[in-house]
Amino acid sequence: MHPIRRQRLFMVIFIVVVASVAVGLLSYALRENINLFYAPSDIVSGKAPEGVHIRAGGMVVDGSLERADDSLFARFQITDGEADVEVHYTGILPDLFAEGEAAVATGELDNNGVFMASEVLAKHDENYTPPEVADAMEAAHQRAADAADNSVPTDSTTPADDY
Amino acid sequence: MWQWFHRLGSPRWFYNTSGKWLPWLSVLAAILLSLGVVWGLGFAPQDAKQGNSFRIIYIHVPASFLALAGYYVMAISGAVGLIWKMKLADMVMKSAAPIGAVLTFVALVTGAIWGKPTWGTYWVWDARITSMLVLFFLYLGVIALQYSYTSQDAASKASAVLSLVGMVNIPIIYKSVDWWYTLHQPATIRLTEAPSMHPDMFHPLLVMILGFYCFYAVALILNTRVEILYRERRTRWVQDMVLETPVSEIREGQN
């Protein structure tokens, strides 16, 4: 390769490397702020700031969702497997919001450690399944669970393999 | 060994060769895209959770793929232009920018439309969506730089440097859903694993992705050919071609 071209090639590599290092350091320094939400364990352990607007994200705990009869109030718990946070929200929940699915709530922690949400978003996963297949898998899951119940008691809190 | 490389750098050779490929590529793109659209929108099963709204994936994912891949095309042509001073590479870089910008815009808009029924919001400032918006501005920046200099040489150099600096953003977009907590779900199609999608839904998506690649190639070739004719307008071969073609086409039109 011609020396001048080689010099230009090094210049190009230099630009790419320096830009990568700069952006890498920047995103490393800002990593907490790049995260869209805090996990429940961060909130319980006090890593998340209190009294300011934050987002909390996690899996909606099975059986924790309670809706008021006479208003749009709803309460549920979100978990990351280590800690749970109670969320209170008044408003319309997204269609895909469901127990066992992930959700992201925006709001503030009150003094009792309850997360008062002003907005709740559903976070869907990367799996796509036709309804019949999903029903068949659900039924198979149920059968397996029943069989397991009849033989030996197992922990029912294994993460859902919902594909 | 380098001969093919230098021949590739000749705008005239590229103009003639791409002219032969263009009809085939266009037909292939049209077939794949119409097959993918009909299959994906009409015949693929709906999603158990999202219903029919998931079908926007057949536009959203291919557009996003090509928005990212197109950036590499632009940045690598920019680098080739910088290192070898190859005129054709500069032309490809300039031609790739508006196509990439449009595809990024399509990805952002379809993502927003998809977000409302599934997440419950059109927009959220998470790492994936924000880095995708940055990509859109990078494309716009390259387009703007192309028109900010009176000298084409200076414009090419400046936009090549911006393209190269912005290339850092591509792996960030790709890995953002794994590195940080985002609202956007992780990738469905992965290189090393099977897609987390039922085959009946995945096959039309694959057809759409291939169709978008062909469409991208067609759009890039068309754009580059216009750029070649414009920049080479004072050369002999372009003037000869311009003097020759219309006469025969006028005659054909008259007969």
Is it the case that residue A78 has pLDDT exceeding 70? yes
The whole-number pLDDT of residue A151 equals 63
* Interface touch B185/A123, C-beta < 8 Å: yes
For chain A, list the strands marked E by DSSP. Answer: 54-60, 66-67, 73-79, 84-90, 102-109, 115-123
pLDDT tens by residue, A121-158: 999 888 899 988 888 888 888 888 888 777 654 444 44
CATH code for the part of the protein at A37-123? 2.40.50.140
This prediction has a pTM of 0.88
What's the rounded Cα separation, in Å, for the pair B88 and B12? 9
Cα distance from B175 to chain A (closest Cα, Å)? 13
- Residue of B56, B83, B161, B190 to mutate, testing the A interface (most A Cβ within 10 Å of its Cβ): B83
In order, the DSSP letters of B121-151 are -S----HHHHHHHHHHHHHHHHHHHHTS-SS
Q: Which of A23, A119, A127 sits opposite B168 (nearest CB)?
A: A23
Task: Tell the burial category of A132 from Cβ atoms under 10 Å away from its Cβ (0-12, 13-18, 19+).
Answer: exposed
- Residue of A36, A47, A72 to mutate, testing the B interface (most B Cβ within 10 Å of its Cβ): A36
What's the rounded Cα separation, in Å, for the pair B162 and B155? 11
Predicted interface score ipTM higher than 0.85: no
In terms of CA atoms, which chain B residue is nearest residue A3? Answer: B83
Q: Please, are residues B201 and A131 in contact by the beta-carbon 8 Å criterion?
A: no
What's the rounded Cα separation, in Å, for the pair B120 and B114? 9
* Interface touch A130/B48, C-beta < 8 Å: yes
Give the count of Cβ contacts less than 8 A between chain A and B: 122
Q: How confident is the model at residue A84 (pLDDT cuts 50, 70, 90)?
A: very high
The whole-number pLDDT of residue B6 equals 73
Q: How confident is the model at residue B20 (pLDDT cuts 50, 70, 90)?
A: very high
Tell the residue number behind the tokens 């694993």, with chain if given. Answer: B193
Query: Over chain A, what is the mean pLDDT?
Result: 87
Q: How confident is the model at residue B243 (pLDDT cuts 50, 70, 90)?
A: confident
* Interface touch A122/B187, C-beta < 8 Å: no
Is it the case that residue A163 has pLDDT exceeding 50? no
Q: Which of B117, B119, B165 sits opposite A123 (nearest CB)?
A: B119
What's the rounded Cα separation, in Å, for the pair B186 and B64? 14
Q: Which of A23, A123, A129 sits opposite B183 (nearest CB)?
A: A123
* Interface touch A131/B48, C-beta < 8 Å: yes
Domain-wise residue ranges, chain A: 3-32, 37-123
Domain-wise residue ranges, chain B: 22-44+53-254
Is it the case that residue B235 has pLDDT exceeding 50? yes
pLDDT tens by residue, B125-147: 999 999 999 999 999 999 999 99
